[in-house]
Amino acid sequence: MRALYLVAAVAVLALLSFSTYTVQETEQAIVVQFGRPVGGLVSEPGLHFKLPLVQTVHPFDKRWLEYDGDANEIPTKDKKFIWVDTYARWRIKDPLRFFQAVRDERGAQLRLDGIIDGETRNAVASYDLIELVRSSNREFQLTEDLAGIGAGEAAVKILTGRSKVAQIILDKAAKITPEFGIELVDVRFKRINYTDSVQQTVFQRMISERKRIAERSRSEGQGKAAEIRGQKERDMLAASSVGYKNAQALKGAADAKATAIYARAYGRDPEFYQFLKAMETLNGAFSQGTTAILTTESELLKYLKNDAGR
């Protein structure tokens, strides 16, 4: 009797485990009966029931899934060879179609490789490199020392830009993927790099550009220094000449004033002034070495002859 109970319990448990299944929060599932899907999509997570043995459950991930393509060597429209490395995110939107068309994720990756690679090649080949690198027309900020560098690239008008090109790839590829039950949710350029040979020429260009800037900087320095020296000469001469001019003006004004003063004073009796000045001048005009020949006709010495002076 007891053994019977035990067998019954085990049987019930087995039946339960064969007729239930769980769907994870990250999953969705389809139920297949003799190879034919039944009951539609199970997207509610939790515990579910099915017929034991005849129905099998195929779970599929519901999340955004990885796609990281290999880097491809692609020429741009302006014939520059670059490595383009894209990544994408996709999800299984229609598990039934997905199951029928590609069976599992490995099959999906294979198809995505083909689709995304193809669309990436198409897109890259129809744009110039600069359109794939830049996203906007913002102007580069340059310090004064580096003015003029990269001017050619800065002047290019960006019509599409990196994000929009990626969007174009996404749009085109996303049109194809629904037939595999796949929704492509994002495609992005992960890396864009020069191929080795192009990189070498780019490095050479960068080096020559820098050399040009360095030389310009040096000669600018010398030029500016010469300019400052010239300025120095100019300012020195300006200072000294203005000083001379002002000094002369001051002296002239003083001379004029003095002249006026003398003229006014001495003008009262020019003859007396002449006399006074003559006396003064005579007094200072002779030195010890002078030999003077005087005559007794003079006002003073006439008295040498007699007291009458005659």
Task: Tell which positions 54-93 bind another protein, by CB under 8 A.
Answer: 61, 63-66, 68, 87, 89
Instruction: Give min distance, CB of 29 to another protein, in A.
Output: 10
Q: Confirm if 72 and 117 have CB atoms less than 8 A apart.
A: yes
Q: Give the separation between CA 132 and CA 225, rounded to whole angstroms.
A: 44
Q: How many residues bind another protein (CB under 8 A)?
A: 121
306 in contact with another protein (CB under 8 A):
no
Of 159, 215, 270, 274, the residue at the interface with another protein (CB under 8 A) is 215
Fill in the amino acid letter for 287: S
H helix intervals, 156-195: 162-176
C-beta closer to another protein: residue 103 or 277:
277
Instruction: Give min distance, CB of 173 to another protein, in A.
Output: 16
For the chain, the residue count is 310
Phi/psi of residue 215, each to 5°? -65, -45
Q: Give the separation between CA 310 and CA 306, rounded to whole angstroms.
A: 7
The CA-CA-CA angle for residues 276, 281, 282, to 5°, reads 100
155 in contact with another protein (CB under 8 A):
no
Residues 230-289 binding another protein (CB under 8 A) are 231-232, 235-237, 239-244, 246-251, 253-255, 257-259, 261-262, 264-266, 268-269, 272-273, 275-276, 279-280, 282-283, 286-289
Instruction: Give min distance, CB of 48 to another protein, in A.
Output: 9
Tokens of residue 84, six digits:
């383009």
Of 25, 73, 196, 307, the residue at the interface with another protein (CB under 8 A) is 25
Phi/psi of residue 175, each to 5°? -75, -30
Of 8, 206, 270, 274, the residue at the interface with another protein (CB under 8 A) is 206
The CA-CA-CA angle for residues 243, 248, 250, to 5°, reads 95
DSSP 8-state assignment for residue 93: S
C-beta closer to another protein: residue 35 or 268:
268
C-beta closer to another protein: residue 8 or 263:
263
138 in contact with another protein (CB under 8 A):
yes
Each residue 107-126 as x (binds another protein by CB under 8 A) or -, in order, gives --------------------
Count CB atoms within 10 A of the CB of residue 102: 19
Q: Give the separation between CA 4 and CA 9, rounded to whole angstroms.
A: 9
**Which helix (H) or strand (E) segment is 117 a member of?**
helix 105-125
DSSP 8-state assignment for residue 156: S
Of 3, 34, 157, 222, the residue at the interface with another protein (CB under 8 A) is 222
Q: Confirm if 163 and 192 have CB atoms less than 8 A apart.
A: no
Instruction: Give min distance, CB of 258 to another protein, in A.
Output: 3
225 in contact with another protein (CB under 8 A):
yes
Phi/psi of residue 150, each to 5°? 60, 25
C-beta closer to another protein: residue 35 or 164:
164
Residues 34-53 binding another protein (CB under 8 A) are 44-47
Phi/psi of residue 146, each to 5°? -105, 10
Instruction: Give min distance, CB of 36 to another protein, in A.
Output: 25
Residues 157-196 binding another protein (CB under 8 A) are 162-163, 186, 188-194
Of 3, 293, 308, 310, the residue at the interface with another protein (CB under 8 A) is 293
Q: Give the separation between CA 210 and CA 190, rounded to whole angstroms.
A: 29
